[in-house]
Every structure is written in structure tokens, then in C-alpha cells.
Amino acid sequence: MKKEIKGKRIILREQREEDAPFFAYWFNQPQVMFQCGFEKSTDEEEVKTCINVDHKSENSVWFTITDLDGNIIGETGLLRMFPAWHQTDLTIIIPDPKMQHKGYGTEAIRIMLDMAFNRYEMHRVSIGVVGLNTDALEFYKKIGFKQEGILEEAYYYNNEYSDFIMMRILSHEWK
């Protein structure tokens, strides 16, 4: 596996311990916690453990997203990869609102989908989205994901229930 994939405007690179302060800061922001379903705050040591242990699983591939100058934008990954069924889940977080709506997420998702379908020979890539996160729902539809199910009131945050929307894209829809 390449430790770095360079796109036109971004780089997906191997996650490093020194990324922990960025993610610990953003993962504790209320809006990010809501959008990502984080139940509790996290600290740098927990992020380092995640980078060094959880994200090194043989069933997942994780990258830090940076701009071409190396400034961290977010993270993306394929997780719960299940080669026998040719399916995986996708995740992406670009936590800083100033970095959203600039095309970075679109480019990162396109690279990850190419990787899932071509390198790992997946047939199906899924993503779950909090129903109240309408920006994310529109973004994934624009990429080509289709809604396939609603888990009614399956997400609970800040004393409020929300639907959890399941979306997917199939390899022949991507090509």
C-alpha cells in the first residue's frame, strides 16, 4: 500500500502520531461531535491510540487528508472491509468549516472509491449519515451514492433523536 497518494489538490498520506493535536481539537468541537456521532470528548493520547492501533487493522485503510503544502484538512478511510462479500464502508471527516465546500472532500472520496473498486476489488461501498446533516446527504448524492434505507430515530445526540440514512454506491455505478 502506498503511504501517500497525490491528487490534483490534496494528498492522502499515512496517518502519524503528530496528527493527533489536529484531530483531538476538532473531534471535541460540538458540531463535529454531532455530525460524526462522537459520544464523548477525546484527547491526544486517545487519538494516537486510534492512529497506531485501531487504524492499523487489516480490515481498514486510513489516510490523513492534507493540502499540497502538507496542512491537515481531515481524514478518510475504508473500514469494515469484507473481501469475501466485496464490500466496505467509507468515512470522511473534514472538520473545519473553512475547509469545506472547496472540493477537497470530493477529490478525497473519488480517490477512495477508485481505491475501493480497483485496488481492493470491492463491489459495494456504503456510508451512514446522520439525517440532520443535510449538507453531507447532498454531497454524497452528488458523488453518486444512493439512499437505500433509513434507520428511524437510530441516532441520539444532545437529547434529540434523528434518523440515520444508509447510502451506497456500486462498482458499475462508479465506472
The one-letter code for the residue type at 119 is: R
Residue 167: partners with Cβ closer than 8 Å, 6 or more residues away: 126, 127, 128, 129, 137, 140, 141, 145, 146, 147, 148
In the predicted model, residues of the chain with pLDDT beneath 70 are 1-2, 32-41, 44, 47, 49-55
Q: How does pLDDT run across 49-83, given as a tens digit for each residue?
A: 666 666 677 888 999 999 999 999 999 999 998 99
Which residue bears the cell 464490500?
A: 87
CA–CA dist 110, 78 (Å, integer): 12
Query: For residue 36, what pLDDT is reported?
Result: 66
> DSSP letters of 59-88?
T-EEEEEEETT--EEEEEEEEEEEGGGTEE
Nearest to residue 125, comparing CAs of 138, 133, 116, 114?
Answer: 116
Q: What is the chain's mean pLDDT, rounded?
A: 88
Q: Tell if the pTM clears 0.85, that is, is over it.
A: yes
Q: Could you tell me the fold of the domain covering 4-125?
A: Aminopeptidase (3.40.630)
* Cβ neighbour number for residue 18 with a 10 Å cutoff: 11
User: How much is the pLDDT for 133?
Assistant: 87
User: By three-state DSSP, how is residue 120 classified?
Assistant: coil
Instruction: Please name the residues in contact with 66: beta carbons below 8 A apart, sequence gap of 6 or more.
Output: 10, 11, 13, 72, 73
Which residue has cell 477529490? 107
Query: Exposed, middle or buried by CB within 10 Å (0-12, 13-18, 19+), for 37?
Result: middle
Domain extent listing, the chain: 4-125
What is the C-alpha separation between 49 and 70, in angstroms, rounded? Answer: 22
Look at residue 32 in the predicted model and tell me its pLDDT: 66
CB atoms within 10 A of CB 169: 21
Give the pLDDT confidence score for residue 29 in this predicted structure.
Answer: 72
What is the per-residue pLDDT for 15?
Answer: 86
